[in-house]
Amino acid sequence: MGASSTLVPSLSTRDLTIRFGGHVAVNQVTADFYPGTLTVIVGPNGAGKTTYFNLMSGQLPATSGSVHLHGKDITGSGAAHRTRLGIGRAFQLTNLFPNLSVLENVRLAVQSHAGIGMNMFSMWFGHKELIERAGHYLERVALGARRDTKVAALSHGDKRKLEVAILLALEPDVMMFDEPTAGMSVDEVPVVLDLIHQVKAERNKTILLVEHKMDVVRKLADRIIVLHNGTLVADGNPVEVMASQIVQEAYLGTPEHA
Ligand SMILES: Nc1ncnc2c1ncn2[C@@H]1O[C@H](COP(=O)(O)OP(=O)(O)OP(=O)(O)O)[C@@H](O)[C@H]1O
């Protein structure tokens, strides 16, 4: 399903702007993000991709402009409130409890989701069911064999897979991924990419990615947004955007990103 087939965006930004002193890191960015669509945000180093993500997830307050979730203005909401409203972001690594097991980390997310979304449900949703459901998410990210390992002992790649499992367990409408395959070994990358692809298709989620690797962009993107010096310079289907002159000059022409 693409943007054109759904009328109501789940997440929108309008003239979203942030200044750090005299520097405008994100400059009047307007975009709509739709269920069932995976949008990749690309751009050169320092273009404002992470800052734009931080503005949408609530880690940073906007200087001006607005953010809307299902049509509701959430510009004044902080990150924790936005998470409860349905914006989930993976790969902040800070979400993990290093001294608990892999399974316990996901179990807490399952429990948190059950508690927030279905109060009655959580009253009779037993420990066994929580563990089973957590185990299911771990299998999906190919971490089943590490379920009893303490998180502190995981490799960087496994920590990232665990964050995907936690994000899945929280079932947010909007899923944001910062470079989901960074730090992963070559054989781990397809597991996570396939999973993101599946989640988009099966659950009709709105998925946003910041990604540098162009092979990952090509595999996953339904749509690409290009930021350059904080400004949105291209927005559209991957083939058109990648072929556009502004992208070739601003980004894809640089050998390290090709
Ligand atoms: N807290 C901050 N204070 C001051 N300047 C900042 C702050 N955060 C980001 N910037 C600046 O804003 C600009 C955009 O940074 P940002 O990290 O969003 O870029 P990016 O596109 O994600 O880059 P990269 O691809 O290297 O991660 C940069 O010039 C950066 O130095």
- Among 81-90, 189-198, 215-224, 249-258, where is mean pLDDT lowest? 249-258
Q: Which two tokens stand for residue 222?
A: 């339904």
pLDDT in tens, 114-141: 774 444 455 555 678 888 999 999 998 8
User: Would residue 14 count as lying in a domain?
Assistant: yes
pLDDT in tens, 147-163: 999 999 998 888 888 98
pLDDT in tens, 72-124: 999 999 998 998 899 999 855 567 899 999 999 999 888 887 774 444 455 55
User: Would residue 151 count as lying in a domain?
Assistant: yes
DSSP string for residues in the chain: --GGG-SS-SEEEEEEEEEETTEEEEEEEEEEE-TT-EEEEE-STTSSHHHHHHHHHTSS--SEEEEEETTEE-TT--HHHHHHHTEEEE--STTS-TTSBHHHHHHHHHHHHHHHH-HHHHHH--HHHHHHHHHHHHHHTT-GGGTTSBGGGS-HHHHHHHHHHHHHHH--SEEEEESTTTT--TTTHHHHHHHHHHHHHHH--EEEEE---HHHHHHH-SEEEEEETTEEEEEE-HHHHHHSHHHIIIIITSGGG-
Verify that 135 and 241 share a domain, yes or no. no
Verify that 76 and 113 share a domain, yes or no. no
Q: Sorting pLDDT into bands at 50, 70 and 90, what band is 256?
A: very low
Examine the pLDDT at 207 and tell me if it is beyond 70.
yes
Q: Say which CATH number the domain at 225 has.
A: 3.40.50.300
Which residue has the CA at smallest separation from atom 2 of ligand 1?
20
pLDDT at 224: 95
pLDDT at 59: 94
Q: Which domain holds residue 72?
A: 1-86+173-184+204-258
User: Would residue 111 count as lying in a domain?
Assistant: yes
Verify that 10 and 113 share a domain, yes or no. no
pLDDT at 92: 59
Q: Counting atoms of ligand 1 from 1, which one is nearest the CA of 51?
A: 18
Examine the pLDDT at 185 and tell me if it is beyond 60.
yes
Q: Counting atoms of ligand 1 from 1, which one is nearest the CA of 20?
A: 4
User: Would residue 71 count as lying in a domain?
Assistant: yes
Examine the pLDDT at 213 and tell me if it is beyond 90.
no
CA of 82 to the centre of ligand 1 (A): 22
Verify that 7 and 82 share a domain, yes or no. yes
User: Would residue 115 count as lying in a domain?
Assistant: yes
Verify that 72 and 179 share a domain, yes or no. yes
User: Would residue 194 count as lying in a domain?
Assistant: no
Q: Which of 121, 147, 171 is where one domain is finished?
A: 171
User: Would residue 198 count as lying in a domain?
Assistant: no
Ligand 1 binding pocket (C-beta < 6 A) is: 20, 23, 25, 43, 45-51
pLDDT higher for 190 or 87? 87
Verify that 77 and 119 share a domain, yes or no. no
User: Would residue 199 count as lying in a domain?
Assistant: no
